[in-house]
Amino acid sequence: MNKIVVSGGRRLSGEITVGGSKNAALPILFGGIVTGESCVFSNLPRVSDVLKALEILKFLGARIRFLQSGDVRVDYSGVRAGCAPCSLTSAIRGSTYLLGAMLAQFGRAELGGAGGCDFGARPIDQHLMGFERMGARVSCLENSVLIEAPNGLHGARIPLAMPSVGATANLMIAASLAEGETVIENAAAEPHVAALAAFLCDAGARITGVGTDSVRVIGVQKLYGVQNSIIPDMIEAGTYLCAGVACGGPVRVRAVCPAHLTPLLDTFSKMGVKVQTGEDSVTVTALERYRCIDVVTGPFPAFPTDLQPQIAALFCLGNRAMGEGSVTELVFRSRFRYIEELRRMGAIVSIQDRCAHIQPSVLQARKLRSPDLRGGAALLLAALATNGQSEITNAATVGRGYEHLEAKLRALGAHITVF
Ligand code: UD1
């Protein structure tokens, strides 16, 4: 996916089926290393980040089979201690999960670099602090990190400085094979953290407290291969719901877990958007104008940072939005790079420290450049809602997280071509 061309200003309506969660799939795929056996995954999204993760696992010795049913079998029995090339690991953020998994399984983990979206510095000091507390020795080399625990890991109390998704997941993976009890304090409670815990527990791990800020893991000697169905992608679902709001709707997203979407749906309700929730579906309708409000991101169950750019795009749309709104980004220091592109369309946004104040204005179709995955999604929403032809380059950033993007948006009536 290099470029997205959109002829915007059309009403979008209809329904789409949401795929599996990228952010659940990545820790589960790498976490599977600790089983040392074969696991079968269903609902695995075929987005580039997930395909890259499979490539990394293959390099390390896993055997991957795409089954006729659509499931994917990963046989981890051939995985050996080693370091995947930086050219692979630096393409995705999720490669950091190799640290916990390889360390627990082989007593040694090395990572040459981890990628992901550029939101400024993305340190992993909390992951490393946790591994050290479990008895590992951490050496930070110029562009890589080496972690060793030749005598195995032991349980520990690990107070995280912030409820980091990555650190909670990584430490849960490592602790599942450590000797004794580990308590992760100030743990993240995101649905994809709970999904990883459920996968590990099915494989034989003993984990409790998931969804609270204190996660307990009692290490076991061995884990076993299992079947796992990846949970629905709440960020993909949320993005299509935002498309429905931006372009009128009604848009229905199917195969979702509505409870995971509560922070977004509450926000929509405050904006005056009509929301209908079914057992595994959500429908939004925004035929009337909606209000801008103030949104603040935070760890689950607060508003997700991964939907912050999309909601900001909705506030920019002068043909639909009323009043003034703001988005305050409390999770990442630097997650407003997409705003410069929205300004090029005519958006009126002023940024003060962590808060972007938005005054709706009539936007113009433009040639735009996607800065990162969700920032690119925000540009796409603005383009879909704006009359005229817009182009989004650097679109591979968007392909990292949206499966069948072109087909799904076309099904809603969008005029979109992906090159
Ligand atoms: C994951 C998601 C990402 C999402 C984010 C927050 C994946 C692959 N990525 O990223 O899409 O936006 O959760 O929901 O699942 N921090 C530290 N030190 C650490 C760890 C984190 O300072 O050791 C800081 C980060 O810089 C950031 C905040 O804590 O400011 C939250 O980061 P974290 O929850 O760890 O995000 P990721 O796991 O990187």
Which residue of 92, 127, 162, 374 sits with most ligand 1 atoms within 8 Å of its CB, as the best mutation to test the pocket?
162
> Which among 207, 229, 251 is the end of a domain?
229
> Which among 229, 248, 283 is the end of a domain?
229
**Mean pLDDT throughout 87-96?**
93
Task: Read off the pLDDT of residues 21-45 as tens digits, 9 standing for 90 and up.
Answer: 999 999 999 999 999 999 999 999 9
> Which among 185, 211, 229 is the end of a domain?
229
Do 343 and 356 belong to one domain?
yes
Tell me, yes or no, if 117 is annotated catalytic.
yes
Do 13 and 37 belong to one domain?
no
Range(s) of the domain holding residue 404: 3-18+232-418
Helices (H), 203-348: 234-246, 262-271, 308-316, 337-344
Do 13 and 57 belong to one domain?
no
Task: Read off the pLDDT of residues 327-381 as tens digits, 9 standing for 90 and up.
Answer: 999 999 889 999 999 999 999 999 999 999 999 999 999 999 999 999 999 999 9
Q: Which of 83, 86, 117, 316 is catalytic?
A: 117
Which residue of 331, 336, 354, 400 sits with most ligand 1 atoms within 8 Å of its CB, as the best mutation to test the pocket?
331
What's the predicted TM-score (pTM) here? Answer: 0.97
User: Is the pLDDT assigned to residue 66 strictly greater than 80?
Assistant: yes
Among protein residues, the one with the nearest Cα to ligand 1's atom 26 is 122
Helices (H), 17-150: 22-31, 48-60, 86-89, 97-106, 125-133
CA distance 236 to 275: 17
Do 273 and 389 belong to one domain?
yes
Do 68 and 138 belong to one domain?
yes
CA distance 271 to 96: 37
Do 13 and 43 belong to one domain?
no
Do 236 and 224 belong to one domain?
no
Do 199 and 237 belong to one domain?
no
Q: At what angle do helices 22-31 and 165-175 cross, to 10 degrees?
A: 30
Among protein residues, the one with the nearest Cα to ligand 1's atom 5 is 165
CA distance 328 to 236: 21
Residue ranges with strand state E in 297-354: 321-322, 325-328, 348-352
CA distance 171 to 125: 12
Task: Read off the pLDDT of residues 4-25 as tens digits, 9 standing for 90 and up.
Answer: 999 999 999 999 999 999 999 9
Å from CA of 303 to ligand 1 middle: 14
- How many domains, in total, are found in the chain? 2
CATH number at residue 32: 3.65.10.10
Å from CA of 230 to ligand 1 middle: 20
Do 303 and 268 belong to one domain?
yes
Do 314 and 330 belong to one domain?
yes
Ligand 1 atom closest to 92 (CA) = 8
